[in-house]
Amino acid sequence: MSTSRQNHWHAIEESEVLNLLESQAENGLDTEIARERFEKVGPNALSQKKDKNPFILFLQQFNQPLVYILLGASAITALLQEWIDSGVIFGVVLVNAVIGFLQETKAMKAIRALSQAMTSDATVIRSGQKRRVSSTELVPGDIVVLQSGDKVPADIRLIRTRELQIDESALTGESVPVEKRVKILAPDCVLADRCNMAYGSTLVTYGTALGVVIATGDRSEIGRINELIATAEVLATPLTRRIGQFSHLLLKVILALAALTFLVGILRGESWIDMFMAAVALAVGAIPEGLPAALTITLAIGVGKMAKRHAIIRKLPAVETLGSTTIICSDKTGTLTQNQMTVQEIHAAGFKLSVSGVGYAPEGNFNRSGIEYEAATHPALLECLKAGLLCNDSQLVETNEGWRVEGDPTEGALITAAHKAGLHQHRLDQSLPRIDAIPFESQHQYMATLHDCIDGKRLVYLKGSVESLLSRCSNALDEEGQIAKLDKDHCHQDVEAMAANGMRVLAFACVELTDQQTEISHDDLASGLTFIGLQGMIDPPRPEAIEAVSACQSAGVTVKMITGDHGVTAAAIAQEIGLKGRRLENGQLAAITGHQLAEMSDEQIDEAVQQTAVFARVAPEQKLRLVEAMQRRGDVVAMTGDGVNDAPALRRADIGVAMGITGTEVSKEAADMVLTNDNFASIRAAVEEGRGVYDNLIKFITWTLPTNLGEGLVILTAVFAGLTLPILPVQILWINMSTAVLLGLMLAFEPKEPGIMDRPPRDPQSNILSAGLIGRILLVGFMLLLGAYGLFEWELAQGESEAVARTVTVNVFVFGELFYLFNCRSLRYSVLHLGFFTNPLLLVGATGMILLQLFYTYSPMMNTAFGSAPIGIVEWLNILCVSFAIYMVVGIEKWWIRKREARDC
């Protein structure tokens, strides 16, 4: 058995294919030979890589800088015998690790789902006998019989076909079943155009065929996709990259300051035990213990909001990634379009009529030159619609979910168009009952139906390709429905104009038979037909998709179309939707095909993705190359898809978006997000929610870091000055944990600010905090230092105990954070601009924090546990003055920045 030409089976004669595989079309493989080949090549199944040891996978979840810091904090608090605080911190770490572990174990489910997609039974011929075997038993050289309803069990070179149509949408993205026939193709023919091949996991929708297996398991096309999924690198999200960088920096700073604190104290002659506790206090104060919990909860809240807008998030970081997206690569069929073929133009009797309405709902009218046209007054139009309705084997059915087609989508479009003119199948079937029919055959390219007329005559209606019907026509219908001269050149011009707009064009004809015959043959229809007209149909764009694309582009997000459909159709839809990209000389959007991509270097593809908006007839590895090219340019890429062929690119993209209705299980498992309504408008909504989530995360970080900075500075100042520590480690933990829960987490519920989709996406290379926000953090941190240390020393100077002074210090931090929280509701505007009551949960949290702090200050139990003490009204006034000063200073700073920006503009 030779496999030296295995990549070009479609370019070889059938007889040569059989010779290379040492098989026979009539008898198939000998059973013994099949067994030997099975032992050699193995089962027809996708191999699965050995999974990582679950325990090792779980331990890897702790291999993160921020987790190191938290584990250190947990260990330190355990040394202090603060078991509750230690347990809470470790619990946060443990929950995050479990979530990460569960997500990572799901990552390879795509391959398992892909393997299941390959499993089915198959009819083979072995030793001259037909038999049913499991698809896993197939070997190269097996002769397979295919019929309607079968799942293709392996990659097969077709030897004989009879009206064979295969749904390859899961593999190529082709929106309608593909007609298959036996012929030799060019070696460089792209997969989607290989009409003499049938590929594993696709579905036979019509006809029968005989073919020889040329590849099984990992050597098949779907096996190649499996390998692409397994090897596709999963990139860190923008947030995880930034948090990782930030955590590394924070780890180094905290360790350096703790070491410096310990060293300075020792050099000053202090006790090493006291200095160790001071270093511990500084480390605990500087660690933002609430950050991981806030990150997880904020993302989880975003998940809930997106679910309400038809976007199901499978991986938490994907929430924020959506807000960072700079390019959305969308499939065409069903996502940007209705996935319902619709007749949009009819040419009859030399006139062009437009048809309004979209989808299968029989709602719409006819227009001629922009003026509504009554179909009943146009006999040629009625005949054209009648031909489409009668020469038809499909049904239009109304369900609770809307109108749907039982049968071929193209025929469904013809039925809908006829219904818009008041024509209905059941009435016409009664007046013109069908007697006989010739089904569509690829070699003839038409379908014909014979009908009995009331006057006893026989009438034949035909629909098919323009080329097949025009050659058989000798005349045409005029506007009054009378026989007239046929202008074939004019017809071809109409067809070219409709095809240029991406329409699929069908021609219609009829002929009256004088004999009372009950059967028709191709000979009866060889000539003398009357041309009725043309119907042009397309899968129209969703109106909400047009609006969503415009909104994304206004927000600085580029939208590109990557589809398995034909280039002309894709470019026409893209232009109607409003995509922006390189145009041809005639003004049409340019489309790059998979054949062209195959000839391009990586550098040429890098340039192409920058200029071109439409990519058509692309193979799975080409989708992967396109995504990688965009990422090399620094873009954050969201990729949509529904087929098996989309899975590698979905996994590689910064965020993969699968379709919930039409999507395969493979694509859903590989994706980060699933759209429950398969609608591009839901992606736009998810981008908006993602931006809101990221805003709230930045607000939390901007709010929490000044506290950590202020606490660290207080400890440093005390050690460097050789003074008493104004705050103890256990008190620092109280501040950090209580405020993070009751105050900081309330920012996760902050509603989106106006104009969130009017600004460009964030630069993926930018730091997590801007220079302006870093300045604000330093400003508030030093104000907390001055207020806390100043009041601590003031209380001691007034003769108060250290417990009272430290209680004042703790309350300065807590109430300073509380007042600053209202500043952080917007990083740009004042709380008055947003509306004081627009986040009621924040007000609840602030109230709860005040009550809890009163409990901390005056409860004997808390006084014992935390070393606090009751304070008087004067102390409270001082605390509130410091807190209000922080609020006012930050408010003035924001006002000054807005004024400066307005002046610069």
Instruction: Please give the positions annotated as active site.
Output: 331
Cα–Cα distances in Å, from 875 out to 113, 880, 888? 65, 9, 20
Please state, as a whole number, how many other Cβ atoms lie within 10 Å of the Cβ of residue 754: 10
The alpha carbon of 275 is separated from its chain's Cα centroid by a whole number of angstroms, namely 53
Phi, psi of 77 (to 5 degrees): -65, -30
Pairing verdict, β 351-355 and 342-348: antiparallel
Give the closest residue to 216 by CA, choosing from 140, 141, 157, 115. Answer: 140
The residues that bridge with 353 in the sheet, in sequence order, are 346
* Rg of the chain over all Cα atoms, to the nearest angstrom: 36
> Which of 354, 665, 318 lies closest to 498, judged by CA?
354
Longest alpha-carbon distance in the chain: 122
DSSP state of 432: S
Amino acid code (one letter) for 413: A
Quote the strand ranges of 700-799, DSSP E: none
DSSP 544-570: HHHHHHHHHHHTT-EEEEEESS-HHHH
Question: Is 821:743 a contact under the CB 8 Å cutoff?
Answer: yes
Phi then psi dihedrals of residue 164, to 5 deg: -80, 130
At 341, which amino acid appears? M
Amino acid, single-letter form, for residue 377: T
Q: How many beta carbons lie within 10 A of that of residue 83, not counting itself?
A: 10
DSSP 456-496: S-EEEEEEE-HHHHHTTEEEEE-TTS-EE---HHHHHHHHH
**Closest Cα partner for 625 from 581, 594, 669, 671?**
594
Own/partner pairs for 865-872, CB < 8 Å, 24+ apart?
Answer: 866/728, 866/730, 866/731, 866/734, 867/728, 867/730, 867/731, 867/803, 867/806, 868/731, 868/803, 868/806, 868/807, 868/810, 869/801, 869/803, 869/804, 869/807, 870/804, 870/807, 871/804, 871/807, 871/808, 871/811
* CA 622/CA 61 separation, integer angstroms: 33
Work out whether the CA dihedral 782, 788, 792, 794 comes out positive or negative.
positive
Q: Do 316 and 325 touch, CB atoms closer than 8 A?
A: no
- Residue 303 CA to residue 504 CA, distance in Å, equals 40
Residue 241 CB neighbour total at 10 angstroms: 15
Q: Which residues contact 518 (CB under 8 A, 6 or more apart)?
A: 435, 436, 450
3-state secondary structure of 540: coil
Nearest CA to 138 out of 220, 19, 20, 49 is that of 220
Q: Tokens 């280039």 correspond to what residue?
A: 567
Residue 113 CA to residue 135 CA, distance in Å, equals: 16
Q: Is residue 701 within 8 Å of residue 672, measured between CB atoms?
A: no
Q: Is 634 left (phi over 0), alpha (psi -120 to 50) or beta?
A: left
Nearest to 840 by CA among 739, 745, 750: 750
Q: 410: Cβ–Cβ under 8 A, 6 or more apart, which residues?
A: 176, 341, 504, 506, 537
CB-based burial, 8-47: b 16+ in 10 Å, e otherwise: ebbebebeebbebbebbbeebbbeebbeebbeebebbbbe
- Answer whether 141's CB lies under 8 Å from 212's CB: yes
Is the distance from CB of 403 to CB of 360 less than 8 angstroms? yes
CB atoms within 10 A of CB 442: 15
